[in-house]
Amino acid sequence: DVKVTQSSRYLVKRTGEKVFLECVQDMDHENMFWYRQDPGLGLRLIYFSYDVKMKEKGDIPEGYSVSREKKERFSLILESASTNQTSMYLCASSLLPGGRGGTEAFFGQGTRLTVV
Amino acid sequence: GEDVEQSLFLSVREGDSSVINCTYTDSSSTYLYWYKQEPGAGLQLLTYIFSNMDMKQDQRLTVLLNKKDKHLSLRIADTQTGDSAIYFCAEKQAGTALIFGKGTTLSVSS
């Protein structure tokens, strides 16, 4: 079974803190993604990565950065957390890059982050 | 840019059929997906269809694809209370990540 594991289910952080959300996948997938999910807005792509040390901005990268030092791990960083970053964060991974072949994405269980 | 569009809510009775509709953005999208999210959980792939197909059936699930209208639908036969969840339509364009709709909350009453 493919497993995508996010390090925390729930996090509470203070405004201005630097926050790290960790995601690990065990299927040697090239692609990894970070989405945030908000009521009425669905899933919005923050950043994605095609390979180690590669990253691409998604639709809403402002206020976030990412790190992919190893293939299996993709970290989302909130440089200075703000209350409007309170959300559910979902990590995903998929096998094949670009548009080649089936690109099913496997999701982690999500991290609900509250910034106070 | 254009969004993947879905209606936000659908309410059905147990045993009825549910039909969730989606309009996607890019006629060249190669794969189209339906994901299910149960309360407090991540997304789970329910089914997908290649763009060169117009129908796919998998047990209680039927996916219909109308490429001309860029319309995708998911039909759940004999809907059960365990089918209550949020259903996301997603498209895969070349060179990009999956693009998701806002999700349809399906509520099944007994």
Distance from CA of B78 to the nearest CA of A (A): 26
Residue in the structure block whose two tokens are 């998604």: A58
Q: What is the pLDDT along chain A (116 residues), one digit of tens a residue?
A: 668 999 999 999 999 999 999 999 998 888 899 999 998 888 999 999 988 988 999 989 999 999 999 999 999 999 999 999 999 999 999 876 443 445 678 899 999 999 99
Strand ranges inside B2-76, DSSP E: 5-6, 9-13, 18-23, 31-37, 43-50, 55-58, 61-66, 71-76
Dihedral angle computed from the Cα positions of residues B6, B11, B14 and B16, in that order, rounded to the nearest 10 degrees:
-60
Beta bridge partners, B19, equal B75
Q: d(Cα B88, Cα A41) in Å, to the nearest integer?
A: 12
Q: Each residue of B76-89: pLDDT tens digit?
A: 999 999 999 999 99
Q: Each residue of B6-45: pLDDT tens digit?
A: 989 999 999 999 999 999 988 777 789 999 999 888 899 8
| Chain A environment of B97 (Cβ under 8 Å) | 31, 33, 45, 48, 58, 105
Amino acid at B96: T
Q: Would you tell me which residues 47-66 of chain A have a C-beta closer than 8 angstroms to some C-beta of chain B?
A: 48, 58
